[in-house]
Amino acid sequence: MGSTPEPRVAGEQPAQTAEAGEAAHGAGCDCASAPEPARGTDASLASARETEVTPFTEPWTQTVRGTYRHWWTLMKAFHFSAAHQLHGMREGHPCARVHGHNYEVVLTLEGDMLDDRGILVDYGDLKDFGRLLDDCFDHRDLNEVMAPRNPTAENLAEWLFLLCTQPTGYPWAHLLRSVTIKETPKTSATYYREASDEDPEAILT
């Protein structure tokens, strides 16, 4: 935020004129001066101020091509560090050795309705998931945490999705659409689940 200009003190010398300031600028700076933006006339500005603002219409009711669905997507990232060793890899594969990653976990939530505040999910409500990562995954051996499953990024993404959506999971679980695991900034694996047309509530079970 810019600093507020100081008020003028009685008897203070007026600021230099625009011409003088331009001359001083030209003498001490060899950069090209930016073109002055176009200004509207007093009449056009007054007309713009008097223009009535048209309220927004409900955006999900109808378009030229028909009705359409609308929704919001929220993403929240979490981090933890852990070790693992992948089984079934070819001989000499580096992931077959015990190693570790600084994991990034990204939750993606979607919904078509906001609360009275205009919020889909309060980010603060996701803190419990962050505590789960800190308590159960951070600085641990994922081979032990996820046994007997092979602790790949793909399996970890599904594992965390299922943890969130189990019956005793989180109140926002029905909005969860995917979990992404990033082992490095260049690699990621994402697990999605969508309800089928036959069972639209399947994602809740």
CA–CA dist 171, 145 (Å, integer): 24
Over residues 17-66, the pLDDT tens digits come to 555 455 444 444 454 555 555 555 555 555 555 555 555 555 555 455 55
When divided into structural domains, the chain yields a total of 1
56 within a domain of the structure (yes/no):
no
Residue 9 in domain = no
Residue type, 89: M
Residue 55 domain flag: no
Q: Per the domain annotation, does 54 fall within a domain?
A: no
Q: pLDDT digit string (tens) for 79-124?
A: 999 999 999 999 999 999 999 999 999 999 999 999 999 999 999 9
Tell me whether residue 90 is in a domain. yes
- Domain holding 196, by residue range, is 72-204
**Per-residue tokens: 41:** 């006339």
The reply to whether 27 falls in a domain is no
CATH number of the domain that residue 83 is part of? 3.30.479.10
The 10s digit of each residue's pLDDT in 142-172 is 999 999 999 999 999 999 999 999 988 899 9
Residue 28 counted as domain residue: no
Neighbouring C-beta atoms of residue 87, cutoff 10 Å: 13
Residue 99 three-state SS: strand
Q: How far is CA 125 from CA 119, 120, 154, in A?
A: 12, 11, 25
The model's confidence at residue 200, banded by pLDDT at 50, 70 and 90, is very low
Structural domain contains residue 6: no
